Amino acid sequence: MDDDGNHPGRLLIIGGAEDRCDGTGLLERFVELSGGAGARIVLVTAATRAPDEVHADYERVFRRLGADRTIQLELHGRYDADSDDAAKVLHDATGVFISGGDQSRLMALVGSRVNDILEDRLNAEDGVVVAGTSAGATAMGRTMILGGEGPDVSASAVRTGPGLGLIPNVLIDMHFGERGRLPRLLSAVALDPDHLGVGIDENTGVLVEDGSFEVLGSGVATFVDAESATVIHPAGDQEPTTLFGVRLHLLPAGCIFDTATREASIGPAHDRY
């Protein structure tokens, strides 16, 4: 069904490995939010080293879902991200999809003209829908997680850098349950306790709209709230961080997290997308 009304911009943050063959629920929701048959989708492939293959794959899926206009926005560096051509493409878009890959490659977009246009269009009355998967998901925050692995919660367990700032005070991690990334997200939140940590499983998304997060898809979104927690950092980055009083929410599809109250609510169990 086409969405013909005007809305402020919305974010669809996907944990990676979204289903592109069977059901395509998350991508179908993105196309619907972008205008259905009237959607004008811009695919940002800056994070991947195989942009043409990624473009062909998503274009095929979006066309099958009813969207015939998908344009690849090739951004090879800061010059492209500040160009008039990129600005023109984005100003005409109803939906922007940022693909996965290596999130460090997206740092060239931070603070660019492309970044400014995305922020402006999200805040406009007829705001664009911006979706990101995997690397494209973690880049949406003011700070993005660049890497880090291991079982410990410590400053050395996570690497962060500046993100696009499309959603303030939120740290996003992806492939979350599949790759055991709770320690990494806790490490990142311990460094910035005012930030809400959001870890998203594969084939799972969070729709951000009107100050709330709606969980979609087949997995779970994990919310880490350290706003009232106690954090004690050790002398060395390799040593474990003391962290207690953290609130942890595990929310499957249909559940809602309110960012103003930092409270979760249970939605209908059958509402997968």
**Among the options 154, 175, 187, 218, which is catalytic?**
175
Q: What one-character DSSP code corresponds to residue 39? A: -
What's the CA gap between 47 and 26, in Å, rounded? 20
Residue 55 annotated as catalytic: no
Tokens standing for residue 37: 């048959």
Beta-sheet pairing, 69-73 with 40-44: parallel
* Total residue count of the chain as it appears in this document: 273
What's the CA gap between 270 and 80, in Å, rounded? 44
3-class DSSP assignment, residue 238: coil
What's the CA gap between 101 and 104, in Å, rounded? 9
What's the CA gap between 160 and 235, in Å, rounded? 20
Beta carbons within 8 Å of 268's beta carbon, 6+ residues apart: 254
Beta carbons within 8 Å of 120's beta carbon, 6+ residues apart: none
Residue 76 annotated as catalytic: no
Helices (H) and strands (E) in the chain, counts: 7, 17
Q: Name the β-bridge partners of 52.
A: none
**Among the options 28, 202, 214, 218, which is catalytic?**
202
The structure tokens 């779970």 sit at 220
**Among the options 34, 99, 112, 134, which is catalytic?**
134
Residue 202 annotated as catalytic: yes
Is the torsion defined by CA of 145, 176, 153, 266 positive or negative? positive
What's the CA gap between 271 and 217, in Å, rounded? 9
Residue positions annotated with a catalytic role? 134, 175, 202
